[in-house]
Amino acid sequence: MNFCAKLLSIACLSVAGASLAHAADFQLQPGQWEITEGMSLSANATPSQTRSICITANENLVSENWFIDLAKPNAGCASDLTSVNASQLQFSLNCPSRNGDIEGPVNVNVSASEFTISSDLALQLGGHPLPMHRELTARNVGQCR
């Protein structure tokens, strides 16, 4: 292998390593998880909704994208990861909509047995931001049913 090819290989490996170092994986306890989600628009809160999911031992290592997808109000949202460490991630959401764009910061706090996703978004209605807060809390409640 000539010098240029070796240099190119090293550069490619360095870039790939940097990309992998940026990606974070969070390990959640396998089992039944109870997820409660609530939302308030301006000062009006909607009733909380609760659902359950089973996370198996094969599925308990999740990336930041798993949490980002849970936080998105709709599939058309784009996200920009701003900070990540072993127990927390922060990103911004931008969700275009015919009724007004939704945008703002999202904070996620994670431990093996629980996590919280807190979004302080603004719904843009005719150039006037309408505050929107979404809170999703999840906790491991035992064995999968």
Residue 6, domain member (yes or no): no
pLDDT at 86 over 60: yes
Write b or e for each residue in 69-101: b if 16 or more Cβ atoms lie within 10 A of its Cβ, otherwise e: ebbbbeeebebebeebeeeebebebebeeeebb
* Cα angle value 92/64/45 (rounded, 5°): 55
**Residue, of 41 and 8, whose pLDDT is higher:** 41
For residue 125, the Cα-to-chain-centroid distance in whole angstroms is 25
Model confidence, pTM: 0.80
**Number of domains into which the chain is organized:** 1
Residue 56, domain member (yes or no): yes
Residue 8, domain member (yes or no): no
For the stretch 113-123, pLDDT in tens is 999 999 999 98
Residue 17, domain member (yes or no): no
Residue 116, domain member (yes or no): yes
For the stretch 90-114, pLDDT in tens is 999 999 988 889 999 999 999 999 9
pLDDT at 49 over 90: yes
pLDDT at 14 over 60: no
Residue 19, domain member (yes or no): no
Q: What six digits make up the tokens of 78? A: 């784009």
pLDDT at 125 over 80: yes
Q: Which domain holds residue 92?
A: 25-142
